[in-house]
């Protein structure tokens, strides 16, 4: 048993700095950027914790570019991230689920180095029923091969394989942050008594198998036949006890899959034949996390992070999780 009084405490930002020091050419820029994201999520969680006290529950009365109803806390979370990153001069472009177009902070020719793409409050429709929600983020480099007059959009449309960092924060019974910079997945928990994220897991590995599947079976009749066959198998005696676990917040469902194993499915449907999840700032960052933890992510046709996006808010189907479980789902496709 560890002695909590003598065991060293490592903060998330300290861990990020230590990782970056392993690269001789690192300038500390990425650490500075991630510190801004951590600051933003601490502010967001403070509002989430007081949602029933503050006037932040309910609809804003508008819809976003996705056609979704905007919640009051969506606006607060979005503005918080924009403000926390807007003063960091290494940030060139910011892309949010809530905004139609990229926010240009500093052009690449003027020193803008990174692109930050984010879903400020994933699962926000669950705010008023106290279900876990979260923030998802992805970091890309601005493309040095593009002339400075090119629009921010041209810089943003990169494959997921080009990501230099990604992560998510779950606002649940505790506030947990998981991140990767391409050197494994690491996890930290926010200690509210001191206001900092404390590292509690390094080089996290997703179990290679897990008898849990996660999807919205209400749409099962319109799923591809291969998915329907898998779901029938998973509920059969032959499967040997698979269970359904579905929260309805992507970040929370993925967090459980990351820790416990299994598979998360959001297939195409007749209503959303191109899928529903956003490629750039939902699916790609989670795919990066999954692969760094030994898992797999696909759009049911190939490796998700090899997809070349064609629009800022492009949607995609998603199948993600334990290696053996993703392979099992795909085995039901002819």
pLDDT at residue 49, rounded to an integer: 85
pLDDT reported for residue 148: 59
| 53 and 99 fall within a common domain | yes
The total of other beta-carbon atoms located within 10 Å of residue 104's CB is 15
What mean pLDDT comes out for the span 107-127? Answer: 85
Give domain status of residue 138, yes or no: yes
Residues 183, 40 share a domain: yes
246 part of a folded domain: yes
Residue 7 belongs to a domain:
no
Q: Are residues 187 and 221 in the same domain?
A: no
Helix ranges, 87-224 (H): 152-156
E strands present in 123-258: 133-141, 165-171, 175-180, 185-191, 196-201, 212-214, 243-244
In angstroms, the CA 29 to CA 117 distance is 17
Q: What does the block give as tokens for 276?
A: 């529903």
Tell me the pLDDT band of 146, cut-offs 50, 70 and 90.
Answer: confident
pLDDT score of 119 more than 70:
yes
Provide the β-strand partners of residue 167. 137, 179
As a whole-number percent, the residues of the chain with pLDDT over 90 amount to 67
Pair 177, 301 in one domain: no
Name the DSSP class of 160. G
Note the pLDDT of residue 72. Answer: 83
What is the per-residue pLDDT for 88?
86
Inside any domain, residue 109? yes
Would you tell me the crossing angle of helices 225-234 and 323-330 to the nearest 10 degrees? 120
- In angstroms, the CA 215 to CA 255 distance is 14
Give me the pLDDT at residue 106, please.
80
Domain that holds residue 252: 212-330
CATH classification at residue 126: 3.30.540.10
**pLDDT band (50, 70, 90) for residue 3:** very low
Whether 284 maps to a domain, the answer reads yes
Q: Is the pLDDT of residue 285 over 80?
A: yes
What is the number of domains present in the chain?
Answer: 2
Are 278 and 315 a contacting pair, CB within 8 Å?
yes
Q: Is the pLDDT assigned to residue 4 strictly greater than 70?
A: no
Range of weakest confidence among 45-59, 181-195, 208-222, 226-240: 45-59
Which pLDDT score, from 0 to 100, does residue 19 have? 81
Asked if residue 235 and residue 129 are part of one domain, the reply reads: no
Q: How confident is residue 54, by pLDDT bands cut at 50, 70 and 90?
A: low
Share of the chain above pLDDT 70, in %: 88
Q: How sure is the predictor about 143, in pLDDT bands with cuts at 50, 70 and 90?
A: confident
Neighbours of 224 (CB within 10 A): 15
Tokens representing 308 are 């070349």
Write the burial class of residue 97 (CB in 10 Å: 0-12 exposed, 13-18 middle, 19+ buried): buried
Question: What residues pair up with 103 in beta bridges, in sequence order?
Answer: 94
Helices (H), 169-306: 225-234, 250-260, 284-292
Compute the average pLDDT of residues 30-48.
93
Q: What average pLDDT does the segment 63-74 reach?
A: 68
Mean pLDDT estimate for the chain: 89
Walk across the sheet containing 185-191 and list its strands: 103-104, 91-96, 114-122, 133-141, 165-171, 175-180, 185-191, 196-201
pLDDT score at 330: 98
Residues 167 and 260 both lie in one domain: no
Q: What is the mean pLDDT of residues 20-46?
A: 84
- Is the alpha carbon torsion for 161, 166, 170, 174 positive or negative? positive
In this structure, the answer to whether residues 216 and 253 fall within a common structural domain is: yes
From 173, 201, 229, give the residue that closes a domain.
201
pLDDT digits (tens, 9 = 90+) for 234-284: 999 999 999 999 999 999 999 999 999 999 999 999 999 999 999 999 999
Q: In this predicted structure, what is the pLDDT of residue 1?
A: 42
Could you tell me if residue 17 is inside a domain? yes
Cβ contact 114:30 at 8 Å:
yes
- CA–centroid distance for 239 within its chain: 30
Tell me what pLDDT residue 25 has: 59
Q: What are 156-214's pLDDT values in tens digits?
A: 999 999 999 999 999 998 999 999 999 999 999 999 888 999 999 999 999 999 999 99
Task: State the Cα–Cα distance between residues 170 and 166, nearest whole angstrom.
Answer: 14
- Provide the pLDDT confidence category of residue 41 given band limits of 50, 70 and 90: very high
- Cα–Cα nearest to 290, from 332, 318, 249: 318
Q: With b meaning 16 or more CB within 10 Å and e meaning fewer, what string describes 187-215?
A: bbbbeeeeebbebeeeebebbeebbbbbb
- In this structure, the answer to whether residues 63 and 161 fall within a common structural domain is yes
What is the reported pLDDT for 28?
73
The model's confidence at residue 219, banded by pLDDT at 50, 70 and 90, is: very high
Note the pLDDT of residue 59: 62
Output the pLDDT for position 279. 98
| 241/144 Cα distance (integer angstroms) | 51
Q: Are residues 139 and 269 in the same domain?
A: no
- Same domain for 168 and 73: yes
Pick the last residue of a domain from 201, 229, 249.
201
In a domain, 50, yes or no: yes
Do 125 and 274 belong to one domain?
A: no
CB neighbourhood size of 242 (10 A) = 19
Nearest Cα to 71, choosing from 122, 138, 132? 122
The average pLDDT across 15-44 equals 83
> Which segment of 24-28, 97-101, 140-144, 310-314 scores lowest on mean pLDDT?
24-28
Residue 216 and residue 197: Cα distance in Å, rounded? 32
Asked whether residue 104 falls in the same domain as residue 153, the answer is yes
């Amino acid at each position: 048993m560890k002695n909590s009084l003598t065991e060293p405490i490592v903060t998330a930002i300290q861990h990020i700095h230590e990782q970056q020091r392993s690269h001789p050419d690192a300038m500390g820029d990425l650490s500075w950027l991630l510190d801004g994201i951590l600051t933003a999520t601490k502010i967001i969680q403070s509002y989430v914790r007081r949602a029933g006290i503050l006037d932040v529950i309910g609809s804003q009365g508008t819809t976003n570019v996705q056609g979704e109803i905007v919640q009051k806390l969506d606006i607060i979370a979005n503005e918080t991230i924009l403000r926390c990153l807007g003063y960091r001069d290494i940030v060139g472009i910011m892309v949010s689920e809530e905004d139609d177009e990229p926010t240009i902070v500093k052009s690449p020719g003027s020193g803008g180095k990174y692109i930050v793409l984010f879903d400020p409050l994933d699962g926000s429709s669950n705010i008023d029923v106290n279900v876990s929600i979260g923030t998802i983020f992805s970091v890309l480099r601005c493309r040095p091969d593009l002339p400075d007059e090119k629009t921010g959009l041209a810089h943003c449309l990169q494959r997921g394989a080009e990501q230099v960092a990604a992560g998510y924060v779950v606002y649940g019974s505790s506030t947990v942050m998981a991140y990767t910079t391409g050197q494994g997945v690491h996890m930290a928990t926010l200690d509210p008594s001191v206001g900092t994220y404390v590292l509690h897991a390094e080089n996290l590995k997703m179990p290679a198998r897990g008898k849990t599947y996660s999807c919205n079976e209400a749409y099962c009749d319109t799923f591809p036949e291969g998915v329907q066959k898998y779901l029938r198998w998973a509920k059969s005696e032959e499967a040997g006890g698979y269970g359904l676990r579905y929260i309805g917040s992507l970040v929370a469902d993925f967090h459980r899959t990351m820790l416990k194993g299994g598979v998360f499915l959001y297939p195409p449907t007749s209503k959303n034949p191109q899928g529903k999840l956003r490629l750039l700032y939902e699916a790609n960052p989670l795919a990066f996390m999954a692969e760094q933890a030994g898992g797999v992510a696909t759009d049911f046709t190939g490796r998700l992070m090899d997809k070349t996006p064609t629009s800022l808010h492009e949607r995609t189907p998603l199948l993600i999780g334990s290696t053996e479980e993703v392979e099992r789902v795909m085995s039901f496709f002819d």
